[in-house]
Amino acid sequence: MIPDDYRPSETIVAMASPPGRSAIGVVRLSGPDALELTQRLFRAESRTWPAPQHATVGILADPADGETIDQAVVCFFKSPHSYTGEDLVELSCHGSPVILNRVVETLLSMGARAARPGEFTLRSFLHGRMDLTQAEAVQDLINADTRFQSRIAIRQVQGSLARELLPIKTTMIDLIAEMETAVEFVDERLVDTSAVRLIGSLRQLSEELRRLADTFHAGRVLREGIQLAIVGKPNVGKSSLFNYLLKRDRAIVTEIPGTTRDMLLEPIILGGIPFRLVDTAGVRPTTDPVEIVGIERTRRAIADADLAILLIDHSRELDDQDWELLGLTTGIPRLVVMNKIDLPCGCALEAMAAVEAGQFLRVSVKTGEGLGVLAERILDVALQRERLGIEDVIITNSRHHQLLRAATVALEEAERALLDGASEEVPLTYLNEALSSLGEITGETTVDDILERVFANFCVGK
Ligand SMILES: Nc1nc2c(ncn2[C@@H]2O[C@H](COP(=O)(O)OP(=O)(O)OP(=O)(O)O)[C@@H](O)[C@H]2O)c(=O)[nH]1
Ligand SMILES: [Mg+2]
């Protein structure tokens, strides 16, 4: 249960900017007394204060002794046009912990209560300013480490998931209404043709939900990083490409074949998506025991890779090693890349034919030619592998995933019941179950302990 004091009857205060020194630090105040408390603390320079949605400069002074605390910019957001939906004041002070603590403590002594983690967003949800998926995405947005993560989160803050679910829910409600009519008016019992149609609709709904739930796996891979292995025979420029993508000289590069003997793994971010970039030892027949172990690791790296870049030296004839590696990487998503196109071509005709057919990319790590295209192709193949479009709604939250799965299972049960010829009551129960699971995602049907769990991980001040 949410404690009673989570309810919006009190005015809450918290620092909204991180602890430590900064140019500006923001204190937030929300609730019925937000304006009155501010007026006791703040002497505005402008007569228009407290005009809503206007920033006003003035002095913050302790009402107890009149001492000036800071010069600040204050913005008043009048209910319901504020983040929380309540009267809300943001005090932008100088970013000193001494000042900010003093402002918060003064407001506390005047009767405000310290906000709990996520309480501003919780109030926003309780006042219907956002649904639960949007509230959760606020935290995802703050926690995002990559552009990809923030892109998904900002779309969800804007309601992308709720929008995706809306037509599904509408169809469910229509089906429920239709079946309830059949239950109430026995004369209108479902005739066979409508049962067939219902089964079709249910199947379509569960497929849509399953497709959405399945993006959870992809979302996780894309969040945690795609394993991208650079492989090829010795001296083709793997370590050079590795260093280029990493933007630093991490791997040793020499003209001696067999330079890299161990696997190197470094995280990189490409187009906002995290990758785990792997440099490997060049594959060739050898009797050197160290190199044998290294090549064994390369084979494992190929097996573990989500995506491989197979490098081929454009200036040399394709040999057995190249063909072997072409074979080894056929099973996984890969890009075949000809390196050293700055040098005269030494490749066999078959390879050139493949270049003509657009199967090979052509780059020179030395001159930089083709590397931009390569980066784009890496992103394309990575997203394609996860069967994702850049605009797709992606499930990133395990709570949403579980509820989508539960709704899918309930719809499948409803379908099975109809197929078995059960009376309408049985599939109806399952359909209602599915609908309530979807309602839980957005928070329409939500019990307090779910809210508490959702908001427990928030930071104070949000
Ligand atoms: N001309 C030319 N030389 C290149 C290019 N890319 C890499 N090289 C050179 O090729 C040699 C081998 O480069 P590396 O990056 O060490 O090759 P590698 O595939 O990691 O080699 P191993 O670690 O031995 O498997 C170095 O002398 C590089 O400077 C390129 O695009 N053009
Ligand atoms: Mg190397």
What's the pLDDT score for residue 166? Answer: 93
Q: Please tell me the distance between residue 305's alpha carbon and the centre of ligand 2 in angstroms.
A: 18
Q: Could you tell me the CA-to-CA distances from 420 to 175, 414, 415, 424 in Å, in that order?
A: 18, 10, 9, 11
The pair of structure tokens assigned to 398 is 């395990």
Domain 147-220+397-443: homologous superfamily in CATH: tRNA modification GTPase MnmE domain 2 (1.20.120.430)
Quick one: average pLDDT of 225-244? 95
- Which atom of ligand 1 is found nearest the CA of 364? 31
Q: Please tell me the distance between residue 281's alpha carbon and the centre of ligand 1 in angstroms.
A: 12
**Do 225-385 and 147-220+397-443 fall under one CATH topology?**
no
What's the pLDDT score for residue 1? Answer: 38
Model confidence over 64-85: pLDDT tens digits? Answer: 999 999 999 999 999 999 999 9
| 69 vs 58: CA distance, rounded Å | 11
Q: Please tell me the distance between residue 309's alpha carbon and the centre of ligand 2 in angstroms.
A: 14
Q: Which ligand lies nearest to the CA atom of residue 264 in the structure? A: 2
DSSP of 60-101: EE-TTT--EEEEEEEEEE-TTSSSSSS-EEEEEEEE-HHHHH
Is 340 a pocket residue for ligand 1 (Cβ < 6 Å)? Answer: yes
The preferred substitution site among 230, 231, 235 for testing ligand 1, maximizing ligand atoms within 8 Å of CB, is: 235
List the domain boundaries for the chain: 4-130, 147-220+397-443, 225-385
Model confidence over 420-449: pLDDT tens digits? Answer: 888 888 999 999 999 999 999 998 876 666
Is 410 a pocket residue for ligand 1 (Cβ < 6 Å)? Answer: no
- Which atom of ligand 1 is found nearest the CA of 255? 27
Q: 4-130, which class in CATH?
A: alpha beta
Model confidence over 156-199: pLDDT tens digits? Answer: 999 999 999 999 999 999 898 888 877 766 655 555 567 888 89
Looking at the domain 225-385, which fold is it?
Rossmann fold (3.40.50)
What's the pLDDT score for residue 97? Answer: 95
Q: Please tell me the distance between residue 234's alpha carbon and the centre of ligand 1 in angstroms.
A: 8
Is 238 a pocket residue for ligand 1 (Cβ < 6 Å)? Answer: yes
Quick one: average pLDDT of 231-237? 95
Is 226 a pocket residue for ligand 1 (Cβ < 6 Å)? Answer: no
Is 239 a pocket residue for ligand 1 (Cβ < 6 Å)? Answer: yes
Residue nearest to atom 1 of ligand 1 (CA): 340
The answer to whether residues 95 and 88 touch, using CB atoms and an 8 Å cutoff, is no
Q: Please tell me the distance between residue 413's alpha carbon and the centre of ligand 1 in angstroms.
A: 59
Task: Report which secondary-structure segment, H or E, holds 197.
Answer: helix 192-224
